Amino acid sequence: MNAAQQLHEAGQSLWLDNITRALLTGGQLARYIEQAAVTGLTSNPSIFDKAITGSDAYDEQERELAAGGLDTEEQFFELALDDLRKAAALFKPVWADTAGRDGWVSLEVSPRLAHDTAGSIAQAKALHRQAATPNLFIKIPGTAEGVPAIEELTFAGVPVNVTLLFSASQYRAAAGAYQRGLQRRSAAHLDLAVASVASIFVSRWDVASVEALPAELKDRLGIAVAKQAYRSYRQIINSEGWRALATQGARPQRLLFASTGTKDPAKPDTYYLEALAAPETINTIPPATLEAFADHGKVGEMLPADGGDADTTIAKIEAAGVDVAELAAALQTEGAASFVSAWEDLMASIHSKAAAVTAAAS
């Protein structure tokens, strides 16, 4: 049994942070499911940009979509949903066997809507209907404007993957929105089995703080923040308020560790996976990190429910001059802007490629 399978046995789900048509049609995703215990998949605009521009597998469909008069954004969602439906079908046995705990794929609303509550709600509902598959999350950023969208979409029965969370306080805001949505469903006598995950980004903390910290504190901030978020997660699912919802069929909004590929070449390529083992959580990782972990990774000690040394580590980091709360807000703002930039690049790529394949067919 390799390390990826051992981690799965310990209770942490591994989801792949990648999608391409070659991954689907060439059998690689099926092999990851079988050999590395992969039980879900996430996507983002940068992933799709690389997939679409780096392959001719989308050319024929792009030509048809452009000929059909769809605008660039509509073309993208058609292309993406075609891939994600196929991936969702591969994960459907896992989804069924785990009663919806695992087996999910994720699609993001337009990052242009990160600060548009009403727009996020409307597009998320439309994409949920268009996808027409039960095991697809709609990704909503955990911005101030995204939080009320999370509540409303949960109430509407739309499964949400909350993205762009960078701190325990941001995570708690997203978790609170999810619970409020469920409470409204309870009051309306609706089924409470509406799944959700909350994605806290890890390695970006260390990239942002590397120049400000002494050697002994480098690459420790992301893990410390993740430990604080895990403590909050455990506190929430053990609270009386959550237990009351659980007795009515509600499912925990599972904590997901994102951005866990190693960025510092001085650290092991399995650094964050080994540090963030925790039951009832998810770690979403790029293929290179998954393969490295399955090959030579080790399952570390499970995260302590009380956060362990997280507060002490963060106190040392703040004493070294890093304002952690201020950095959390900046990372979320910068992350939202980065997603918009990636989206604009993706839209430009699709527009350019659609024009090229149309001209080639003339």
pLDDT at residue 355, as a whole number: 87
pLDDT at residue 55, as a whole number: 87
DSSP codes of every residue in 117-168: HHHHHHHHHHHHHHH--TTEEEEEE-STTHHHHHHHHHHTT--EEEEEE-SH
pLDDT at residue 181, as a whole number: 98
Domain extent for 238: 3-361
pLDDT at residue 357, as a whole number: 84
Residues 283-309 have pLDDT tens digits of 999 999 999 999 999 998 999 999 999
Q: Mean pLDDT for the chain?
A: 96
Residue 361 has pLDDT above 80, yes or no: no
pLDDT at residue 354, as a whole number: 85
For 241-256, what is the mean pLDDT? Answer: 97
Catalytic residues: 139
Q: How many domains does the chain have?
A: 1
Residues 154-201 have pLDDT tens digits of 999 999 999 999 999 999 999 999 999 999 999 999 999 999 999 999
pLDDT at residue 80, as a whole number: 97
CATH number at residue 300: 3.20.20.70
pLDDT at residue 182, as a whole number: 98
Residue 358 has pLDDT above 90, yes or no: no
For 54-71, what is the mean pLDDT? Answer: 91
Burial of 32 (0-12, 13-18, 19+ CB in 10 A): buried
Please check whether residue 137 is in contact with residue 107, taking contact to mean a CB–CB distance below 8 angstroms: yes
